[in-house]
Structure 1
Amino acid sequence: MPIDAATAMARARDNFKYLAEAKDDAHLAKLKGGACGYNQSLLIAGLISPEQLDQLNRELDEACLAYKSPLA
């Protein structure tokens, strides 16, 4: 079943919750890398635009900062 860009972006944002599982900064970096790859795959599949990819990656950076604070 085809999905639209809004649904694809919502699913990508839903993946941000996994950042909370990070045990340390290295683990957080791996989780972030996985999320970046997922976001990139949405672009490659034509589900989101480059601008939407940039937006998701900005939101991912903000989410990582929020989860990184307690790890420090």
Structure 2
Amino acid sequence: MRVVVDLNRCQAYAQCCYAAPERFVLRGNEILVYDPAPPAADRAAIERAVQACPVRAIRVEHDAPAGAA
């Protein structure tokens, strides 16, 4: 799983920080810090953050299954 945030689209509403506080932190009211490769155990929290973003700046790219071409 790979988390991608479009920082040009992000408006620092910080809804992702509420949905997944272990994975998204807003510093200085405008700098979003996040882990682009969070552990699979955090998938549910990351998905909540994706859904919570009012400007849809967050997306998740899932790894292809092993053996997929």
Q: Same fold (TM over 0.5)?
A: no
- What is the TM-score when the length of structure 1 is the normalising length? 0.31
- More helix, by proportion: 1
- What is the TM-score when the length of structure 2 is the normalising length? 0.32
- More strand, by proportion: 2
